[in-house]
Amino acid sequence: MPSIKSEYLLCDDNSLLEEVIESLTDSPTLILDCEAKDLGSIGGQLSLLNLGIASSLSTSKPCTEPNHPIFLIDVLAFTKAELRPLYDFLEDPSVLKVVFDGRQDFSELWHGEGVELKNVIDLQLADITSRSLRGEGQREQLQRLGRYLKRDEVNRPDRRSRYTRIHKVCGLEACVREHDFTTVYSGSQASPDHSKWLSRPLTASQLSYAARDISYIDSLYSHFKKMGYIRPSLTQESEEYITLHLDSRPSSDDRFVRHPLLPLQILDKTAHINPVQCQGCKRTLPPDCFPSHQTPRHRYRADGTDRENKCFVCSALDYVFRRTRVIW
């Protein structure tokens, strides 16, 4: 097993940046992850841009030759002009980028660096679609959701139908554990203080944590390909998913954005006829994405004022907020 330091390369000067760019040239698939202060949100700033060449890392098992380290690019050490050759890889539609929950990564790169990620697959979506292939049905779907909402709530006869449309997503570590395959990365398991990503020098624990996430995504990608979980439609679905914050950065305390539920109409699509704007997530969705009591016939209160129209996901988040009285 190589040492922790040999598993990643911290790139913080121009000579190392040239080496990284040379290593990435002609690589068809890159693993991507970012670290930042308030990643992708209002007031956010990118700290590290982390890359790996898929299935060729020193931690990949099995791996292809030659083995490459994980590249941790210290964005604060360079100007945007100096990083442009690297950013060109991210915008190149012929290079596949693999991410896990890339919504905030896209937002930070787009709004903060002027980089538009192209040709991306998001393994968080692949995990959800793999569940039915692994034998999970509606009962298990509601069980997952019940751990976040409340079992009695999701099983209420008058509400159950709305919850069958909602999927609870997994975080990266939980996803790796659930798929129960061996990852050989031996780096830090502890999550660092995310408020300190702009401090320099970065600690060994921070760097090891950043490298670990690249290794986990690479391992998941290899496993998902082997198991047939990467569907042809994943690229289009991923583009819609990661660009949810294309128009503006979200607020870090917006409970209709920061939550563990999959937004509607990403995977399970219905006809987009006579769309309605959700007053929670602000997305425009088909009427059948809203509870029946919010259809036009019941849209207005007794005093004639407009109800707050919220989709199934945002209505569920309202329930969580009322029950816990915390901002998610």
Q: Positive or negative CA dihedral for 108, 109, 111, 113?
A: positive
d(CA 77, CA 201): 11
Q: Which residue has the higher pLDDT, 190 or 169?
A: 169
Contact present, 100 and 124 (Cβ < 8 Å): yes
pTM over cut 0.95: no
The tens digit of pLDDT for each residue in 113-138 reads: 999 999 999 999 999 999 999 999 99
> Any idea which of 4-8, 14-18, 87-91 has the lowest mean pLDDT?
4-8
Nearest to 50 by CA among 68, 66, 64, 65: 68
Is 1 a residue whose pLDDT tops 80? no
Specify the pLDDT at position 302: 46
Q: How confident is the model at residue 187 (pLDDT cuts 50, 70, 90)?
A: low
Residue 149 CA to chain centroid, in angstroms? 21
User: 266: which DSSP letter?
Assistant: S
Question: Which stretch of DSSP H or E encloses residue 97?
Answer: strand 96-99
Q: What integer best gives the mean pLDDT of the chain?
A: 90
User: 171: which DSSP letter?
Assistant: P
> Any idea which of 56-60, 257-261, 300-304, 312-316 has the lowest mean pLDDT?
300-304
d(CA 187, CA 193): 16
Specify the pLDDT at position 327: 43
Specify the pLDDT at position 181: 77
Specify the pLDDT at position 2: 36
Cα distances (Å, whole numbers) of residue 293 to 264, 265, 268, 301: 18, 20, 22, 11
For domain 9-129+168-251, the question of CATH label 3.30.420.40 is answered with no
DSSP string, 205-233: HHHHHHHHHHHHHHHHHHHHHHHT---TT
Domain boundaries, the chain: 9-129+168-251, 270-327
Contact present, 321 and 328 (Cβ < 8 Å): yes
Residue located via tokens 């990083």: 83
